[in-house]
Amino acid sequence: MTDHLTFQNYQTEGFYDELFDAGGNPRAEAELLVWKINSLSAGELQQHQAAIERSLLNLGITFNVYGDAQGTERIWPFDIVPRIVPGNEWEQIERGLKQRIRTLNLFIHDVYHEQHIMNDGIVPAELVKSARCYREACRGLNPPREIWCHITGTDLIRHSDGKIYVLEDNMRCPSGVSYVLQNRSLMKQSFPQIFQASRVQPVEDYASHLLRTLDHLAPDNVRHPTVVVLTPGIYNSAYYEHSFLAQQMGVQLVEGRDLVVKDSFLFMRTTSGFERVDVVYRRIDDDFIDPLVFREDSALGVEGLMEVYRRGHVALANAPGTGVADDKVIYAYVPKMIKYYLNEEAILPNVPTYVCHEEEDRKYVLEHLDELVVKAANESGGYGMMIGPHASDEERKKFAQLIADHPRNYIAQPTLSLSRVPTIVGDHFEGRHVDLRPYILYGQEIFVLPGGLTRVALKKGSLVVNSSQGGGSKDTWVITGNGNGQMQSQS
Amino acid sequence: MLSRVADAMYWMSRYVERVENLARFIDVTLNMILDLPVGSPEPWQPLVSVTGDHDLFAEKYGVATQESVQKFLTFEQDYPDSILSSIRLARENARSIRETITTEMWEQLNQFYYLVRDASQSDRVQKSPAEFYRQIRQASHLFQGITDHTMSHGEGWHFANLGRLLERADKTSRILDVKYFILLPSVTDVGTPIDDLQWSAVLRSVSGLEMYRQQYHGITPERVVEFLTLDREFPRAVHYCVIAAENSMHAISGTPVGASRNLAERRIGLLRAELSYAQVQEILARGLHEFLDALQTKINNVGDGIYDTFITLKSIPVDEIMMQTQF
């Protein structure tokens, strides 16, 4: 553990690197970081890395591995070299995300009310109604302040052309923000000197923003609303995050069995009787929240919750039915929606997407399976997906059949080259592919947490960043300004 | 406070105390063996009888030896009260109320769990059992100290305190029972130097030898029984535990001590009164084992009363929890 890690022999290997330009020189915003890391004594960076890993274990910041009867827990691997986003680029991203969320919220409201966008032929009605997360039961619902998607995590990637694209909108229960906060806190604890003079925008106030967003939804006559986080329970993969957010906001973490509907209000069972609940940040699927309306075999939800919601006696975040905008086929229409609702061009482009439902697109996809990434419209976590160039003939055949059988369920996109960030690999740095998930809160106004979760594919050459498939995470720094002139202020 | 949270506080704390006491059980037996006359049978079988599930043990391990009993009580995953199972349950409960307990408590419980889990994958317990069980005790003390000094002494803390004290009362009575079982075949030993050594071992196993000496000086079975059951001030004595548990229960409900408004309060009040006015001579005359047996039943009933009064929850299937998508 005494190897001296520096960037001296670091190679970008022709990929877009977030910290180094094509000539191998640190980008302006990364200069200070690179200089600091290069000037550490031998073994120091590894020590900080090890200290962070130890803390992760002691703090029990682990996720549960599914399909394992023992409920095996693993730490989500963390790499100490941060991803850096310069301030001017971030401003652009932030504006793009706000535009997108505002649009998607209008879309969801429209879908469950007049359906103008379908009637005007912008988004085909049959695609909306066949989306797996479209909920007929939500027609006519009026969520407080007409906000449906209070918490969103949008996945962004940078292609080899240097441009940032939107890959996915996660509008149901986006997870990972707890890692953003913990990663930052551990970085500061274990490696404070790296932050000096770096002008990294803080993320620590996320929980306050989240609580304000939730408070904003409370019924009008409630002055001090009781907010709770509803978790499926400790065996859920994101349980750590549920409890972390409840703790950070200082609110109760509840399970469905803690809640009960009485006289068309929602209550929680306490040791001294029933206490009214006004806002629920729920981390369980629509299908499970109320057995009277959705899946009747659900033991996780609360009987009668939807009726309480419909009467405006409780707020739910995100609103039920929001998932309709999460569908990967619907995603393809977002730039058109932006034009339709806001009369603006999309600030953040979509990844070009072929919708297999459309005959022309389908034909193209079937003919170019070896170049495209095919995705099921409603899977996540890197499942139900085929990366054409890496797939076997057999896999391609399987997907060709799937597409032919269920065209509605598939989209295809060109294989993108995700940008890379230097990552510790043994005794040196190597570039590893990353994506970025910023978190957006829609309350009184729209707030975007500076940075977000950088997920990194730790396997050499891999493009799959999901935690279930060998992904890790990094701290994400949004630097105020463009990073120029920092070297001077340092010396 | 949510009923479910109160329940988890109670059980988290109870399981930690259980782990500590199991370590004490094994330790006292290891201690006694050192003082047994050469050739006497080692008292491992009674240990299983008092603490464990006899049938499960017989089925999985057969003969009771130091190695098999130690392994069963410490690491057996199929035995729900083994040290490993209990610490895992303590941690699961803590995880379910992670937002209620302090980070310091959670960190210590995690480290405690890793201590046991890592030991289960090595041979360190066979090599130096005394050292391992000492570490367990220390880890438990550390957890309890952190709990007392980082968490507000409100309702949640009182539920944790209840769990810890009822478990301890139960287990102190069982440690006395171990001695009873070991004594059984040789009633003639009473009053001999061997007996003296064995009673010292019992006291030591509850960290009580020094406090006992300050109070009573010479060791006699009668005084030891009195000290461990009826003492009001020694923190591992049954009476002390019941008094402190009663105080916590009343702090939770707001009912003045001496009055009762629910089943839990009635049951613990009766038990406390019995211990307050009992005399050790009567206990021994009635039979120590019978007394301890009845005591354990009453402590159990208090636990059931707490559940009926404050908690009452249904359980939910794990697969449904895991099914919830988190993107």
Sign of CA dihedral A173, A164, A419, A2: negative
A257 with B322: Cβ contact below 8 A: no
pLDDT averaged over every residue in chain B: 89
Residue B321 near residue A235 (C-beta atoms within 8 A): yes
- Nearest-CA distance from A174 to chain B in Å? 5
A348 contact partners, CB below 8 Å, separation of at least 6: A93, A96, A97, A99, A100, A156, A164, A165, A166
Q: Which amino acid is at A478?
A: V
* pLDDT score of B47: 83
Q: pLDDT (tens digit, 9 = 90+) per residue, B240-252?
A: 999 999 999 999 9
Q: How confident is the model at residue B185 (pLDDT cuts 50, 70, 90)?
A: very low
| Alpha carbon distance B301, B309 (integer Å) | 12
Which CATH code fits A354-414? 3.30.1490.270
Q: What is the DSSP string of B159-183?
A: HHHHHHHHHHHHHHHHHHHHHHHHH
Residue A271 touches chain B, beta carbons under 8 Å: yes
Residue B197 lies in a domain: yes
Q: Cα–chain-centroid distance for residue A120?
A: 31
- Is B326 domain-assigned? no
8 Å CB contact of B321 and A235:
yes
Give the Cα separation of B133 and B31 in Å (integer). Answer: 12
Q: Which of A51-65, A242-256, B168-182, B265-279 has the lowest mean pLDDT?
A: A51-65
Query: According to the model, what pLDDT value does residue B18 have?
Result: 96
Q: What tokens does B158 get? A: 């009182």
- Tell me if B321 is assigned to some domain: no
Confidence of residue B192 (pLDDT cuts 50, 70, 90): low
Tokens 């929240």 sit at which residue? A289
Among B117, B118, B121, B326, most A C-beta atoms within 10 A, so best to mutate, is: B326
Q: Is A360 exposed, middle or buried (0-12, 13-18, 19+ CB in 10 A)?
A: exposed
- Which tokens is B196 given? 């003296």
DSSP letter string, A96-112: HHHHHHHHHHHHHHHHT
pLDDT at A490: 38
Residue B319 lies in a domain: no
CATH 3.30.1490.270 region(s) of chain A? 354-414
Q: What is the ipTM of this complex?
A: 0.76
pLDDT tens, residue by residue, B112-138: 999 999 999 999 888 899 999 999 999
CA dihedral A465, B320, A234, B325 (to 10 degrees): 30
**Chain A interface includes B310 (CB < 8 A):** yes
How far is Cα A11 from Cα A196, in angstroms, rounded to an integer?
Answer: 27
Q: Chain A contact for B92, CB < 8 A?
A: yes
Which of B1, B2, B85 best probes binding to A when mutated, by most A CB atoms within 10 angstroms? B2
Is B88 part of a structural domain of the chain?
A: yes
Q: Is residue B47 part of a domain?
A: yes
Q: A446-448 and A439-442 as β-strands: parallel, antiparallel, unpaired?
A: antiparallel
CB B109 within 8 A of CB B16: yes
Query: Peptide bond before A318: cis, by omega within 30 degrees of 0?
Result: yes
User: Cα–Cα distance between B185 and B183 in angstroms, integer?
Assistant: 6
CA nearest B1 in A: which residue?
Answer: A270
Single-letter amino acid code for the residue at B55: D
CATH 3.40.50.11290 positions along chain A are 220-313
pLDDT at B36 (0 to 100): 75
Domain span including residue B223: 3-314
**Per-residue confidence (pLDDT) for residue B324, from 0 to 100:** 74
Q: Are A430 and A422 in contact (CB under 8 A)?
A: yes
In one letter, which amino acid is A302? V
- Rounded Cα gap, residues B45 and B24, in angstroms: 16
pLDDT band at B190 (very low <50, low <70, confident <90, very high): low
Interface membership of B306 toward A (CB under 8 Å): no
| Res B79: pLDDT | 93
Chain A residues within an 8 Å CB radius of B99: 243-244, 246-247, 252-253
- Counting as low any pLDDT under 70, the low residues of chain A are 1-2, 63-73, 379-383, 482-491
Of B4, B107, B155, Cβ closest to residue A255: B4
How many domains does the structure of chain B reveal? 1
Beta-carbon neighbour count of residue A463 at 10 Å?
A: 17
Residue A26 sits at φ, ψ, to 5 deg, of -60, 140
- Rounded to 5 degrees, φ, ψ at A366 are -65, -30
Q: Is residue B310 part of a domain?
A: yes
- Say how far apart CA B66 and CA B45 lie, in whole Å: 9
pTM of the model: 0.85
Q: Is residue B320 a part of any domain in this protein?
A: no
**Residue A373 β-bridge partners:** A387, A413
B326 reaches A (C-beta below 8 A): yes
Q: Which class in CATH covers the domain with range A220-313?
A: alpha beta
How far is it, in rounded angstroms, from Cα A396 to Cα A445? 45
| The pLDDT of residue B320 | 72
End-to-end CA distance of chain A, in Å? 29
User: How far is C-alpha A340 from the geometric centre of its chain's CA atoms?
Assistant: 25
